[in-house]
Amino acid sequence: MSWFTKKKNNNKVEEVPTPYVPKECEHFWWDSSPYFIFSWNVYYNEANKKREKEKQLGRLVIKIYETYICCKCKQRNDEVLQTSEIEDITRNNALIEIEKQKEEYKNFCKPRAEVEDEINDLVYGIDRNLLQTIALYQPQKIGSVINSNVNIPILDKFLKEN
């Protein structure tokens, strides 16, 4: 029996697993319709508080946004296309100015709710045209209720006759 124990060779190099690094997305951007954001903020000072509500002054900010969505990774970028600010404007004049801006850009800007709906359709992969087609020819498949007075040919009818 030996008094000395044999030293173990601890010179082994342990391999550390490299963490998985995902490849950066090569973005393929989808362009949404622009939309407005309006805000009117009243001034909180003593002179303005003493005025009647209709004559109180504030600041109107009008911004036109456009949203870009990557079709691959669904990254969203909101870009400001235009910003206009009007100082010392009453609430009624601000509403008139907002209506002027809406009229000026009526063919360019959509309501924000419609734009957000389009964006959500893209993110969740919803094809509205396909759903409308299915609703016409096979309404029972998607739970659609179509007026019973309208006779719409059902796809099954065409398939059975052939």
Residue keyed to tokens 């096979």: 138
Rounded distance between C-alpha atoms, residue 162 and residue 146, angstroms: 26
Residue 105 in any domain: the answer is: yes
Q: What is the pLDDT of residue 148?
A: 52
**pLDDT tens figures, 109-151:** 999 999 999 999 988 888 888 888 887 777 776 665 555 555 5
Structural element, H or E, at residue 38: strand 35-42
Among 156, 154, 152, 132, CA closest to 144: 132
Residue 61 in any domain: the answer is: yes
Give 83-133 as a DSSP string.
Answer: EEEEEEEEHHHHHHHHHHHHHHTTTT---HHHHHHHHHHHHHT--HHHHHH
**pTM confidence score:** 0.66
Range with lowest mean pLDDT among 17-31, 49-63, 129-143: 129-143
Total of domains in the chain = 1
**pLDDT tens figures, 57-101:** 999 999 999 999 998 899 999 999 999 999 999 999 999 999 999
Query: Is the per-residue pLDDT at 152 higher than 60?
Result: no
Q: What is the pLDDT of residue 89?
A: 93
Residue 1 in any domain: the answer is: no
For residue 79, the enclosing domain spans 29-149
Query: Is the per-residue pLDDT at 104 higher than 60?
Result: yes
